[in-house]
């Protein structure tokens, strides 16, 4: 009886324990390095230490008394994995690669479990071996991922080469957009403006990797006149790889900020990686830079092709003045593109004025007339989860969704929008800026100080909560107006009781 139960329970426990490891691999592009482990190292080691102690105790108990202790622990592992699954903010996406890795890992784990079940007759020794197998599941998953990586690389290469061939036959103008923030917003804004005159194809959603661009290339019909590719990076060389696929002639660099420092380590490496887009432009190429950002301003000064810079806090290059921000959008006047003209948009925040300026600078280079720009900008809609005004909910609370991701510039601009609600109680719900490596404490303490200048109530969760609280405390923010929750589920449940009618809630930085 116990052998039959073991053959069922132990593989299930192993797969349940492997789930978070599979998800972590997927989020890191199926690459394993210490940089990707560092942000969650404490949790990883704590989980494994607890499992090791429990497995040792269960093994001793099984050796002295009965193997049922081992089954009890395996069941506890399954229960923990289920609660962990429910609490996760993002889950494993069952892409073809994820399915292949899951099937391969499941088959190997089931095979090893079966070998133990059939090969070891002593039930107590059997329990010790099978618990050790569960303990080794996550490292084993990493090893199995590495084992099939050559096949996956070949498969990806075939997919990318097919996209390269399709793009090679396309006579469209190619545009690359990169930066630490604002890429998707700029892509969508630029697409809407250019679509008033040209047939445009852009990368879907926030797909900004070789496979994401390859996926978009599958939709090429052949008569597109503009191809816009969003280009993301987590490591040096990533942008250069994307440029070899897209071969852009035009570029927008939205800004550089300390983001993905767990893999980049320094802002200087981020700068050099984003600069790869400009370096890959042909001699007759053209680039647009955010002149309000010191890093992209320096990049513009070093640019060897024709370029333009845009500003909202100066009167050089292409710039905006007479800026009027409101909680329903903004209006501003544009200079540097010939005659002055004014634009009105429903997009929130000063950063969206920068995004619009960068896009109309490139649109003007591509022959879009002023009248088309004015009409397109007036009808722009926000990208999901990027300072998206969700309006007043049934409970009378106005929600501003800025939850896609975070950086210091984004925090500053979002808080500037929140500050416009002078007659309301202003509430910020955040877990801070993630993937900062060793600078997590420093930068999230600064985030707390920034929030203190605007918010009336702050709700915190995640591993950065204490750093943000420190920044709030250092700025004299009332301690009783800081609420910290152990996880997202607890925070979500508490919102029902914490929020009041007429509150304005800013949901910020990587909280779905």
**Burial (CB count <10 Å: 0-12, 13-18, 19+), residue 63:** middle
pLDDT tens by residue, 368-393? 999 999 999 999 988 777 888 887 77
More confident position, 52 or 108: 108
More confident position, 221 or 77: 221
511 has a pLDDT exceeding 70: no
Winning range, highest mean pLDDT, from 10-14, 156-160, 317-321, 383-387: 317-321
Q: How far is CA 372 from CA 107, 138, 440, in A?
A: 58, 55, 44
Please compute the mean of the pLDDT values over residues 398-407 and round it to a whole number: 81
Which phi-psi region, left, alpha or beta, contains residue 503 (left: φ > 0; alpha: ψ -120 to 50)? beta
Please compute the mean of the pLDDT values over residues 112-118 and round it to a whole number: 71
DSSP 84-97: HHHH-SS-----HH
Between CA 111 and CA 124 the distance in angstroms is 20
pLDDT tens by residue, 235-249? 888 999 999 999 999
pLDDT at 77: 65
357 has a pLDDT exceeding 90: yes
More confident position, 502 or 434: 502
The dihedral through the CA atoms of 432, 435, 441, 444 has a sign that is negative
Between CA 230 and CA 211 the distance in angstroms is 12
Helix, strand or coil, per DSSP, at residue 287: strand
What domains sit in the chain, N to C, each tagged with a CATH number?
2-151 (no CATH), 170-315+357-378 (3.40.1190.10), 388-508 (3.90.190.20)
**Buried/exposed 184-219: b ≥16 CB within 10 Å, e otherwise:** bbbbbbbbbbbbbbbebbbbeebbbbbebbbbbbee
- The average confidence (pLDDT) of the chain is 82
Of 195, 276, 197, 275, which Cα lies nearest the Cα of 228? Answer: 195
pLDDT at 492: 79
pLDDT at 90: 63
pLDDT at 314: 79
pLDDT tens by residue, 181-231? 889 899 999 999 999 999 999 998 777 888 888 888 888 888 899 999 999
Please compute the mean of the pLDDT values over residues 257-279 and round it to a whole number: 83
20 has a pLDDT exceeding 90: no
């Amino acid at each position: 009886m116990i052998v039959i139960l073991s053959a069922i329970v132990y593989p299930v426990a192993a797969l349940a324990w492997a789930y978070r490891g599979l998800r972590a691999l997927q989020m890191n592009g199926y690459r394993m390095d210490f940089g990707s482990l560092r942000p969650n190292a404490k949790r990883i080691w704590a989980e494994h230490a607890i499992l090791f102690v429990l497995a040792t105790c269960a093994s001793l108990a099984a050796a002295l008394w009965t193997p049922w202790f081992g089954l009890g622990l395996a069941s506890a592992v399954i229960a923990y994995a289920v609660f962990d699954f429910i609490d996760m903010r993002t889950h494993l996406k069952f892409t073809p690669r994820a399915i292949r890795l899951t099937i391969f890992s499941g088959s190997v784990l089931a095979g090893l479990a079966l070998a133990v079940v059939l090969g070891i007759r002593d039930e107590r020794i059997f329990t010790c071996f099978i618990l050790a197998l569960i303990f080794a599941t996550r490292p084993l998953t990493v090893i199995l991922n590495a084992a099939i990586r050559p096949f996956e690389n070949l498969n990806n290469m075939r997919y990318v080469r097919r996209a390269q061939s399709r793009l090679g036959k396309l006579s469209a103008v190619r545009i690359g957009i990169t930066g630490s923030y604002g890429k998707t917003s700029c892509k969508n804004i630029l697409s809407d403006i250019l679509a008033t005159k040209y047939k445009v194809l852009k990368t879907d959603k926030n797909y900004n990797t070789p496979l994401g661009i390859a996926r978009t290339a599958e939709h090429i019909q052949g008569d597109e006149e503009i191809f816009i590719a969003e280009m993301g990076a987590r490591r040096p060389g990533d942008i250069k790889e994307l440029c070899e696929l897209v071969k852009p002639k035009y570029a927008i660099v939205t800004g550089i900020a300390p983001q993905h420092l767990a893999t980049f380590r320094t802002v200087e490496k981020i700068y050099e990686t984003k600069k790869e887009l400009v370096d890959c432009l042909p001699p007759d190429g053209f680039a647009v830079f955010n002149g309000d950002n010191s890093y992209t301003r320096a990049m513009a000064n070093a640019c060897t092709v024709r370029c333009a810079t845009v500003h909202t806090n100066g009167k050089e290059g292409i710039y905006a003045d007479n800026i009027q921000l409101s909680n329903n959008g903004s209006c501003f006047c544009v200079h540097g593109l010939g005659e002055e003209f004014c634009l009105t948009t429903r997009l929130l925040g000063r950063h969206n004025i920068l995004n619009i300026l960068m896009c109309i600078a490139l649109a003007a280079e591509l022959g879009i007339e002023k009248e088309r720009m004015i009409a397109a900008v007036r009808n722009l809609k926000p990208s999901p989860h990027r300072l998206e005004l969700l309006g007043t909910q049934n409970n009378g609370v106005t929600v501003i969704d800025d939850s896609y991701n975070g950086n210091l510039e984004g925090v500053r601009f979002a808080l500037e929008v929140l500050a416009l609600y002078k007659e309301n109680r202003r509430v910020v719900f955040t877990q801070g800026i993630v993937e900062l490596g060793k600078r997590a404490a420093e930068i999230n303490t600064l985030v707390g100080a920034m929030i203190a200048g605007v918010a009336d109530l702050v709700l915190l969760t995640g591993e950065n909560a204490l750093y943000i609280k420190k920044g709030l405390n250092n700025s004299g923010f009332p301690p009783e107006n800081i609420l910290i929750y152990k996880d997202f589920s607890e925070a979500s449940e508490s919102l029902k009781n914490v929020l009041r009618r007429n509150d304005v809630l800013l949901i910020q930085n990587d909280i779905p």
